[in-house]
Amino acid sequence: MEPLLCYPDPPPGALAETLDARGYPWLAVADAATAQRLEPADGWSGAVVWAVGDVDGALALCRALRKRDAPLSPLLLVLSGDDLGALELRDDLFDDFALAPAAAAELDARLSHLLWRTGRGKQHDVITYGPLALNLETYQAVLDGRTLDLTFMEYELLRFLAAHPGKVFTREVLLSRVWGYEYFGGARTVDVHVRRLRAKLGEEHAGLIETVRSVGYRFGRARWAP
């Protein structure tokens, strides 16, 4: 895998640690000229542009990268919520964005998904259950050949349930295992996410997530039978 372009130089510690921990090769650049000078022979695999504290400079770099003879893609932009307005009418400058401070898992999920779409990602482990396939690295869910448009937490809940088919989990266990022990939301959070998942699975497959009365939820059966 060719290195990712990372901006600025040096990058924020949290970003560098995330890329290193997830095994992404990367090189930091300070501007478009440096990006061109350091570009590998086979091109950059993508770019992560940190716009926190310098949204104008970051967007200027994105513009330069997109105006090249071969526009750089995929490009993930990381910015603060206060700067969201700067993205209006500028969708052509990036492929996806994340709000800082973004958790390492979210950055990895978004980046993995973008790289998978462009064919530059690595081969990853997949959970399959009948017509459902969950890519554990790209955070992509496919059902009967169609990609499900899931939020990060919807995917995490579906992944956890699908990894334990036939097992019943209480709402409290799901909260702790999926959302984390430090999450302070109530059991209704689980119910809301289950309801949304069932809607996205569609009427034909909504029954994959079964309600076990007075207990919690169960995904499918212990063994899939076509």
- What is the per-residue pLDDT across 21-71, written as a single tens digit (0 to 9) for each? 777 889 999 999 999 999 988 889 999 999 998 899 999 999 999 998 888
What percent of the chain lies above the pLDDT cut of 70?
92
Instruction: Examine the domain organization and report whether 133 and 74 are in the same domain.
Output: no
Q: Tell me, what DSSP letter sits at residue 177?
A: I
pLDDT of residue 104: 75
Number of separate domains in the chain: 2
- Residues 12 and 107 reside in one and the same domain: yes
Does residue 56 form part of some domain?
yes
Surface-to-core class of residue 6, CB atoms within 10 Å of its CB (0-12 exposed, 13-18 middle, 19+ buried): buried
Residue 167 has pLDDT above 60, yes or no: yes
pLDDT of res. 191: 93
pLDDT single digits (tens) 4-17:
999 999 998 888 88
Q: Is 169 found in the same domain as 130?
A: yes
Residue 59 has a pLDDT of: 94
- How many helices, marked H, and strands, marked E, lie in the chain? 7, 12
Q: Are residues 73 and 135 in the same domain?
A: no
Residues 94 and 56 grouped into a single domain = yes
- Dump pLDDT digits (tens) for 170-212: 998 998 888 875 556 677 889 999 999 999 999 999 999 999 9
Nearest to 11 by CA among 85, 107, 106: 107
Q: Residues 178, 157: contact at Cβ < 8 Å? A: yes
